[in-house]
Amino acid sequence: MPTTGSHQLVGWMGVTLSVPENWDLVQVKGNRFDGYLRFEEEGLLRCEVQWTLVSAGRVVLDEQVDRYLQSLEQLLRKQGKTVTVRRNLHLVSRRQVKRNVRDFQWQAGQVGYGMMWFCEECRKALVAQVIGYDHEPVRQWAQQVFLSLSDHADGDWETWALYGLRFEVPVGWQLGATELTPGKIRLTFRLGDDTLTVARFGPASVLLKGKALEEFAVQALGDEIVKQFVIHYRMERFKGHEGMELVGKDKRGTSPLQVFLRRLRTAAPFPRFFGRLWHCEESNRLYLAAGSLSPEQEQIWERFANSVRCHERNEK
C-alpha cells in the first residue's frame, strides 16, 4: 500500500515525532530513561525509535554509531543477507536538530536510513531508523521523520499522542496506571497526591446503546473516583459535542474526624475532583479528562482539559 501524504503525531515520555498516518504504532515500551517505539505498515517494519538516558560522562557518537552498525551487520548476516553500509549522508544537520547528530544508511534487500543523536540538555541518546525498499521514497520519509523528532518538551507542558488520542500534561508529572486496549485507552499521571487522567472509550455507538451519557459516566470514572468523591454534574457541550461537566468534593471532608486526622498529618486540604466527559460523533468515541487536584494545582485544570483532542486532525 502506498504511504499517504497525511501524518500523525506520536508523543510518549517526552519523545515526539510525526510519521505517515498509515504507519501503525505496534509497540510502546519503557520509560523516560529507556524507551522504544515501533511502527509497522501491514506487518512491515517501517520505523523504530529507541532512547536511553546517559546520566553522566561524555558520549562519543562516532563510537556509538560504530557499535550499533556492527551489531546490525552481524544480525543481518546471520540471516544470510549481504550488507552494505554508508555513513555521513547529511540527512539532517546539527543546525536543524540543535543536537550533536550522525546519520547512516544500510542495504540488505531492504534499505534503512538511520540517525543517532545526543541531547546535551536532557542527556538522552536517541537512535531512529526508517526502513523500506529501493523503489520507495525511504530517504524522503527518513528526513521527514528525523526532522520532526524531539526528545523533550520545549516548555512547561509536554505533548502525549498515541492511537489517535492527543493531550498535554505539565512537565514533571509521572505516568502511573496505564490501559492500552482496542476499546479503551486510559492514562493516569501523578505529582505527589494529585492526579490527572485522560481516557478514550469506543465504539460509542455500542457503549451508549440503550444507555444515557450520565449512566456511562459512572463506568468511565471508575470505582476509585466514585468511592472517594461526592460528584455533581451538569450537561454541557465541549468542542461542539454533547458532554458533562463534573465537580466533586472528597467524602472524607464531610467527616469531622477525618478532617482532624488529616490536619495532624498535613496542612493541605482534601483534593477536589474535576472532570469532563463527552461523546464525539465524528470519531464514534467517548472522551474523559479528569483530575483530583489540591488547591495549588487547580489552575492547571482548564489547560489540561482543553488540550484533549477528539476528532481534530492529529498532525504536528
Residue ranges per structural domain of the chain = 7-148, 164-307
Q: Which CATH number fits domain 164-307: 3.40.50, 3.40.1000, 1.10.3470, 1.10.443?
A: 3.40.1000
Closest C-alpha among 60, 61, 87 to residue 73: 87
Do 7-148 and 164-307 have matching folds? Answer: yes
Condensed to tens digits (0 to 9), the pLDDT of residues 279-300 reads: 999 999 999 999 999 999 999 9
**7-148: CATH number:** 3.40.1000
* 77 contacts 83 by C-beta, under 8 angstroms: yes
Bridge partners, 165 (sequence order): 162
Per-residue pLDDT, 257: 58
Task: Give per-residue pLDDT as tens, 227-283.
Answer: 989 899 999 999 899 999 999 998 876 666 555 555 556 656 778 999 999 999 999
- Contacts of residue 315, Cβ cutoff 8 Å, sequence gap at least 6: 6, 7, 8, 9, 18
Taking the complete model, does pTM exceed 0.85, yes or no?
yes
pLDDT band per the 50, 70, 90 thresholds, residue 1:
very low
Q: What is the per-residue pLDDT across 214-230, written as a single tens digit (0 to 9) for each?
A: 999 999 999 989 898 98
How many CA atoms, within 13 angstroms, populate the side-chain half-sphere of residue 64?
Answer: 19
DSSP string, 135-169: TS-HHHHHHHHHHH-BSS-SSSEEEEEETTEEEEE
Q: What is the mean pLDDT of residues 98-120?
A: 93
Cα–Cα distance for residue pair 184/201, rounded to 1 Å? 5
pLDDT tens profile 22-72 = 999 999 999 999 999 999 999 999 999 999 999 888 888 889 889 988 888
pLDDT of residue 58: 80
Question: Over the Cα atoms of the chain, what is R_g?
Answer: 23
* Cis upstream peptide for 295 (omega within 30°): no
The amino acid present at 99, given as its one-letter code, is R
> Residue 266 has what pLDDT?
61
3-class SS of residue 299: helix
